[in-house]
Each structure stands twice: as C-alpha cells, then as structure tokens.
Structure 1
Amino acid sequence: MQAAPRITVEVPVLAVGAGPADYEGLGVLVDGLRRPRGLHMTLLHLGILDDFSREVSQWTRGISSPGDVQAATVRWLGALPVLAPFSGRSAALTVLGGGSVCGLEVGVPREVRDFQVELVQALHRLLDGLLVDNVDDFILSSRALGYRHPHWTPHVSVGRPKTRDRRPLEIEPLALDFGASRIRNRQFLPEPGPAGTSPAAS
C-alpha cells in the first residue's frame, strides 16, 4: 500500500553551482547523493493531510471535525501567496533529521525569510479559525507538522552524512537558483468544496 503523500510548501532547486560537476562533487562528502532534479527547500511542512485534520479535530475535542478541517485546509493552501524565484548561496553541509540527513545550509535573501514567517502566521490564522486554542503549543506538539524547533533553518537535503560528526562541514561556496514556491503533492489534495466560514490566508 502506497504511503499517503506529505503536503509541503516548497521551492524547487533549479541549479547548483556553475554546472552539474559542482553538485556531483558533493558525492565525496555525502552518501546516497540525491538526484539534482528533485532537490527542493521546504518553507512549511503540513504533513499528511488526514493526520493533520485528525490532530486538529482531537485538539478541539471534535468541535472542528476532520472533514471540516480538511476542506478548510485545502482552501487555505489554494489561497496562499506565491514566492517569486530567487538565488541563494551555500558554504557548508550540515547534519539534519536526528543525524540521518545531510543538507546544504542556504543563505537566502531577507524576503524569503519574511515569506516563510508569513506562511507560519497564515498557519496560525488557519488554526485560529478552526478553533484551536494555544496554537503555538499545538504547532510544536503536532506529529503531522513535525516541528522540531520553533525557528526555520533554510536548507536543501542532499543525501546521508558520511560521518557521525554533527558539526557543519565547510565546502567551496555554491550558488543556488530556486524557482517559484509551490504546493508539493498538490495533485493528491481533494477538491476544496464551497467556501464557508474557514479562515483566509491573508
């Protein structure tokens, strides 16, 4: 049985360095180097929609039903703004995900960080509209959302670390080009249905 897809807001990586060799060179430092075509940077992780909807319903003691949460969330995702393409830079590899993932630390323009903050604020408004109390507590405890830290660290996961050392590893600086933001696995979302009293993204 195929696992349910995770829903995220992300930006695709269009280019790393001056050519393919720059990215492929990371293979001497990273195990299982990922294919460059699928590289992306996550701006907001929502998780599996059914899990998220169930958690919100449980948190509100059923006041917001899973179906209502799902419909409101799909409409909310469709109303989110789009971040324009941008460029960033990386000069270090870091270990993520409890030691199982190696990623490029990315320096991004201020407007990208501001956009990510706006996404979190929009998530707050969604949850407020769904009658979630103590929204910050819900966000940090939600297994679907998967927040490990309250602050976002821009990074691009590229493979598995070769060593157990958790310290960042300096690399030759690489330029990264990113495309416009998008909803990952959007094609698997159900139809949003008619708009009701659910919160807007703005």
Structure 2
Amino acid sequence: MQPVPRITVEVPVLTVGAGPSDYEALASYVNALRRPQGLHMTLLHIGILADFAQDVTDWTKGITSAGEAARRTTGWLQGLPVLDGFAGTSEQVIVLGDGGISGLEVDVPDRVHDYQVSLVQGLHDLLDRLLVDNVDDFILSSPALGYRYPHWVPHVAVGRPLSRDHRPRTIAPLTLVFGPSRIRNGRFLTAAD
C-alpha cells in the first residue's frame, strides 16, 4: 500500500558546495547519506492533509468539518506566494528532533526568515478562520503538524547521526543554492472550491 503523502512548503536544494565531492564528504559526519537529488529545506510542515483536517475537527468539537478544513487549507496553500531562489551557507552538522536525523544548519538571508514567519502567520490566520481557539496550543499539539518546538531552525536533512553524541559538528563552510519555493506533494491537494 502506498503511504499517504505529507504536504510541506519547501525549497529544493540545487547545489551543495562546489561539486559532488563536497556533498559526498559529509559521509564522514553522517550515516546513510541521502541522495542529493531529493534534498530540500522545509519551511512549513502541514503533514497528511486528511489528518490535519481531522485534528481541526477534533479541536473544534465538530464545529468545523474535516471537509471544510481540507478545502480551506488547500485553497490557502495554493494561493501562497512563491519565494524566489536563494543561496545560504552551512558550517555545522546538527542532530534534529528526537535524534534520528542529521542535518546541515543553514544560514539563510533575512527574506527567507521573513517568508517563513509569514507562512506561520498565514497558518494562524487560516486556523482562526477554521474557528480553532488557542491557535498556538493547537499548532504545538496537532499530531499532523508534528511541531515540537516553536522556533524554526533552517536546515537540510542529510542522513542519520554517526553516534549517540548529538553535539553540533563544525564543517568547512559550504554554499547551498536553493530553488523557488514549492508545495511538496501539491498534486495530491484537491482543487479548492
């Protein structure tokens, strides 16, 4: 059975460093180095749309139906402005979340931070329109959204940690070039009414 796709707003990684050897050198810091073709930076995670919509319905005790939540969320996502491509730099490999993923912490331009903040503000506005009260509590407790921390750290997941030592590792500076923002798995969104 095919897994249900997760919906995110992300920017694809176009290049890491000066060439393939720069990326391959990261294998000395992580296990199971991911293929460079799929690398991306997540700006906003929605999760499985049906699960997110059900979280809204549960939170509102049925005042907002799952169908309405899914339709409005789809319309909001499809109406988002596109963030133009940009370059960032990384000088650290960090361990993310529960310790199962290693990533490059990326220093990004201010406009990327501003765009990410606008996405979170837009999500707040969407949830207000969906009649969700205590929006911050909802965002941090929704299983679909999966947020554990209120603070966004720009990063690109690249593999698994080499060891249980979760301290950041300093690396030679790498330039990362990102393409324009996109909705990952956007083709699975149903057209908004």
Fold shared by both chains (TM-score > 0.5): yes
Question: 2: CA distance between counterparts of 1:131 and 1:99?
Answer: 35
Matched, 1:35 2:48: no
Match in the other structure for 2:131 = 131
Match in the other structure for 2:176 = 176
Q: How many residues of Structure 1 are paired with residues of Structure 2 in the alignment?
A: 193
In the TM superposition, residue 177 of structure 1 has moved relative to its aligned partner by 0.2
Two-structure CA RMSD over aligned residues (Å) = 0.6
User: Percent identical across equivalent pairs?
Assistant: 64
Q: Which moves more between the two structures, 34-43 or 22-31?
A: 22-31
Superposition pairs of residues 99-178 of structure 1, within 5 angstroms: 99-178=99-178
Q: Which amino acid is 1:9 matched to?
A: V
Question: 2: CA distance between counterparts of 1:156 and 1:84?
Answer: 18
SS of corresponding position for 2:165: coil
Q: Which runs of 5+ in 2 are unaligned?
A: none
SS of corresponding position for 1:77: helix
Match in the other structure for 2:77 = 77
Matched, 1:185 2:185: yes
Instruction: State the TM-score, normalizing by the size of structure 2.
Output: 0.99
Match in the other structure for 1:3 = 3
Question: 1: CA distance between counterparts of 2:108 and 2:28?
Answer: 25
User: Deviations for 1:89-131, whole angstroms, at most 9, x for unmatched residues?
Assistant: 0001001131100000000001100110000000000000000
SS of corresponding position for 2:18: coil
Q: Which amino acid is 1:28 matched to?
A: S
The runs of at least 4 consecutive aligned structure 1 residues that moved more than 2 Å come to none
